[in-house]
Chain A
Amino acid sequence: MSKLEYISFHLVDDNDIDLAVNSKLLEIAKISNKIVTYQSALLLLDYLKSDKFDGSKPHVILLDIMMPNMNGFECLDQLTQMPEHIRKQLTVFMVSSSIDRNDIKKAESYDLVEKILEKPLDVYLLKKYLGEVFE
């Protein structure tokens, strides 16, 4: 999975334990070591809008659904409105500890969303999905 090396991973979750666990899991599964974590969706949006954002490479966002201030779907709405050159590099996986069928339906209605994943992260499944997108 050499192409995965170019991908930057952005983990968004208000729970610091889940952030630590998920980034560690990505490392262990050798999916990536370019991982940035955000405890709020707002921080992710700040980053994407800043000049630190590298628009020449793909970015994968693991976005928790239930978060205070801005939840996963509100963040998705913002991402959808991003300029094309940013948006085209984004692949979003929604993450939730308890998947509601309404959430699945809602997530499927966004073009940006690739899949909805259950916590704890099944890295083998994620690897498979990433393969489908990037290989």
Chain B
Amino acid sequence: MKPAAHGTTVETPFSRLLAMLRPDLVRFALWLARDRSVAEDVVQETLIRAWKSRAELKDAGAARPWLFTIVRREHARLYERKRLPTVDVDEVEALGDPALASEGDASLDDLRRAIMQLPDEYREPLVMQVLGGFSTAEIAAELGLTQPAVLTRLFRARNRLRVIYGLEAVEDVE
């Protein structure tokens, strides 16, 4: 058993990558699950799966969407496996979480709460796009939707948030 030099910590590039991206993975999982403890479970499972499948990641630049995809699938899998109850909008624990409160920026607080209360079908593609950097084509492929359907969902998500932001909602696209 050849040990590492005493007192030193050897980190692989992949483990550094995971550590660097972990905060965004937690954020993404949190916006999906709307529950901190579920989000942490999802990220834990994600890191395990990512580590085991690390050989599949040929390009470090693609790590972010790759990991976000695993988060999304682990989130779905968690609900299937553990049969967790779906969260009613009025029961969203994260709505009362102090992390939603910004320093003196009430409109940002309102926006966070409004995003939390978006239906899953609107919130998920929006978070994938804005936080995850997915293109609409990538979202369509990942969610099993047509690209026009994704455009419609993203449009409607933003249209609901326009009102919170103090703008007039525009006419729906259909």
Q: Do A and B come from one complex?
A: no
